[in-house]
Structure 1
Amino acid sequence: MRLDDSLKLAGQLLAAHMQTTAVPEDRIAAVLHALHKDVLRIQSGSYAAWQDELPPLDVLDQAEIERITPRSYPPPQHPLAAPEVAIEDKIAGTVHHDRVECLECGKGVTLLKSHLLTSHQRMSWAEYLDRHGLPEEYPATSLDHAAKQSASQKSHWASKAKGREGAGDAATTTPEGDDQEKYGLVSPAFGRGAGRDDVDGALGRTG
């Protein structure tokens, strides 16, 4: 068994262990390290055969530990987070015009994703939806905030479109009268089937 495979298996064992046993956050790395040693010992029949290959705890990649080790969250506090509550009732009971109620703690917030990151151990949006059986289209913001965002985006793109139209009109406008003399416009006949004499005259190259 390769070292990275054994570490992955140790992470899976730790995840299963944490489903039934609370592990303090500052002890997760140490427990994972102990499980990793056990996996290698069982695989080889003797831990001594793997002693040189097992990295010490202080050089284990912390990012890898976090990736393969699920976070341990406390039970949800919102009454609608109970498993027997229908998904439709969860949505109707938590999504409001002025707030979205967090199913983890019951607090009403405007931006739920930010609330999860700052108040619930950096819980990801995918984890939240999975924990509560919510669909992917479940709103992460209050209805009023979502409406304001939509209106702002529409206004932004409308302004850009209007600006492009204005630029197009200006580009196709032909100066008249004194402006033609000011900008030195050549004869309209130039380049549109004019004879050689007309072209030479327009360019100032006669004879």
Structure 2
Amino acid sequence: MNGPLRLVLFDVDGTLVDSQAGILGAMEAAFEAVDMAPPDRETVLGIVGLSLPLAIQRLGPDLSAVMHQRMEAAYREAYFTQRAELGAGHSPLYPGALEILDRLHGTPEILMGVATGKSQRGLDALIEAHGLERYFVTRQCADHHPSKPHPSMIATALSETGVAPEGAIMVGDTSFDMDMAAAAGIAGIGVSWGYHRPAALSGARRVIDGFEALPGALDEIWKESLA
């Protein structure tokens, strides 16, 4: 080991994998369950990263709790059915993601984890579908934490890995990810290929346009933070 232990936390949907087709299809099923038309694509993708109950509440603020529960059940059923049919093709990895995970995994002082609004069931299935089990030493999901941008996921990941806040960086595509990083006292790197527009990532220390730029951005931030 050549330096202090470091941690890179990744968001999943819109950062590591492109799951928008499954999310949009499942949300359409959720609104059909209460006989309503779904919001437009941009509105639906704008809530990606939140836990499902909070996402449903934001998209249907005037609906009853019973209707929200019906929508959540319909969403989960549709999403898991699609995933079972399509396997890894349901949420393909973004170009360059696997190569960079391999590169970071090969650096002894770098640990990796995920912090996602997905359920434990959904996260485990996605990791298995893409064969990513060996990469992530900490996996934080919506089942065990308040929704982003609450810092609980990051705080738990830091505790589990023993990494100091200045050695940790959150990589994500939404303002929720960057706000969560700020709330936890760590740096955030935004990615431009996800579901929130780059202009929404104002809290990021860096915004990158491709996975190949991630190692350099990490090194720059760590040099600043650990100097």
TM-score bracket relative to the smaller structure: under 0.3
Q: Which has the higher helix share?
A: 1
Name the TM-score, length of structure 1 as normaliser: 0.21
**Normalized against structure 2, the TM-score is what?**
0.19
The structure whose RCO (Cα within 8 Å, separation 6+) is larger is: 2
Larger radius of gyration: 1
